[in-house]
Amino acid sequence: MTSTLDSTQSPRRPVRRVVIAGGGTAGWMMAACLSKHLGKRLEIRLVESDEIGTVGVGEATIPTMLTFHQLLGLDERAFMAATQATIKLGIQFEGWRDIGQTYIHAFGSTGIDHWTAGFQHFWLKGRERGLASDYGDYCLELRAARENKFCHLPDDGIHYAYHLDATLYGAFLRKFSEGYGVQRIEGRIAEVMMQAPEGDIRALRLQDGSVIEGDLFVDCTGMRSVLLGQALGVGYQDWSHWLPCDSAIALQTASVREAVPYTRSIAHPWGWQWQIPLQHRVGNGVVFSSRYTDDETARAALLERIDGEVLTPHRVIRFKPGQREVAWKRNCVGVGLASGFLEPLESTSIHLIQRSAIRLMQMFPKDGIRDSDIAEYNAQMRHELEHIRDFIVLHYHLTDRTDSPMWRDMREMTVPASLRHRIELFRETGRVFRVPNELFTENSWIQVMLGQGVLPEQHHPSADLMSDRELAGFLGSIKTRVDQRVAQMPGHQAYLMRYAPAGALKTAVPA
């Protein structure tokens, strides 16, 4: 519900009071970032209700989370122990290219690039001459994932992320944020009180009648988008024509084996299934298209492909892939699901929350909100989301599967022009060029396109300058270094139990 307080618009005023509407991962990540770095000059209040559940299924992350935690000054061992976290080195895609075929999209880099051309060109030449093994053999993170190994290496020598319990992560960040002065207010939002029909948000009225005034509002109310979508009327761009899935079913199971250091993504005729191993349980779910199957079929398929006792009742989540027309309007910034949704295929949901927090910090208004900052913020968020969208569409479109209507339709669909150019460039020349500030690296694009069956028609001419002996030595030396490092690593589970066993460390606020 929305109401108007007065009919005049106030002049620009400094932002001193920040109100975060909604908790969960999005709300508490925003609270942690703002309070850590601007808490001394801001009054930050977070409104959430214990009666409203969170989606809480996005439990896999990407390496950018390490940067976010460094900005907060978090202790990794304390974080991992508190959130039952395990290590993630990449994602294993099963049945995406075709039934029975598997590949891993791993973090980090593959091989060694030359300034004229990426490593893939030398690998392609070596493959042509019978001198190269599988492309993944030259990637440390991929090999370690395959062999279920992990350890920290000097000088950040291995790239990794986490599998974590999202509910515990929210609680961990709540304790951290409250340590920096964030006030949590329990209650449900009854009204969004506007200054004028086309003006700013002035306050939130809760069901108990209390009024929470603010200068800047952060909408973390999930898909309902109570502030940005409902009160401010920001429209939604629907991407369902590129991303067919609109439903998910999630449940948790008991662990029955050692946790592997990668997420599993298992393709079905109408969508895909995830398995995310934590220290104390396994997160499971299916993402599917209601155009191609129904809830019961998806649920039955999920239950057939899980191990261990089911710990939670299943729940169906509906969503529409796409983004709000803008993420920041007037004095309201939408974060997380309130600003858009992309299915968790590449574990980007938490990353996008993190980017929103960091970007808002970088553009935080000093003497009032300005249109130029709003425009730049929206442009950056839109471009980042569109690049991630293209990367996810890539997995669906580049497939050899013809066993079901969904996969046949995905093969034949018209993809965004930006994605079509990337595919054609790689297929014809083996080249990949990264867009500035884009999330996914050249190596990510290469791994997925190769994994989905695109083999370039040619390689860069610089690879032709190496003799067979030189090329064999170059490729062999890289593979040998990877082999030696992986051989020296301990098992992932054994390392976890020494480094950050669940519940061993409780401290959330750094000294």
The 3-state DSSP class for residue 8 equals coil
Task: Report d(CA 275, CA 268) in Å as an integer.
Answer: 14
pLDDT for 13: 80
Tokens of residue 486, six digits: 């992986």
For 268-325, write each residue's pLDDT tens digit: 999 999 999 999 999 999 999 999 999 999 999 999 999 999 998 888 999 999 999 9
Q: In what order do the strands lie in the sheet with 2-4?
A: 2-4, 189-194, 201-206, 211-213
> For the domain 2-7+14-59+165-241+321-376, what is the CATH code?
3.50.50.60
- pLDDT at site 50: 83
User: For 121-137, how does the pLDDT look when each residue is reduced to its tens digit (9 = 90+)?
Assistant: 999 999 999 999 999 99
Helix, strand, or coil (residue 327): coil
Residue ranges in the chain whose pLDDT is less than 50: 5-10, 505-511
Task: Report CA dihedral (335, 341, 343, 347) to the nearest 10 degrees.
Answer: -20
325-329, Cβ contacts within 8 angstroms, sequence gap of 24 or more:
325/234, 325/235, 325/236, 325/237, 326/234, 326/374, 326/378, 326/382, 327/228, 327/356, 327/377, 327/378, 327/381, 327/382, 328/374, 328/377, 328/378, 328/381, 329/228, 329/232, 329/234, 329/374
List, by residue range, all CATH 3.50.50.60 domains of the chain: 2-7+14-59+165-241+321-376
282: tokens are: 């396994």
pLDDT of residue 314: 86
Spatial separation of the C-alpha atoms in residues 293 and 96, rounded to whole Å: 18
CA 410 to chain centre: 23
The pair phi, psi for residue 472, each rounded to 5°, is -60, -40
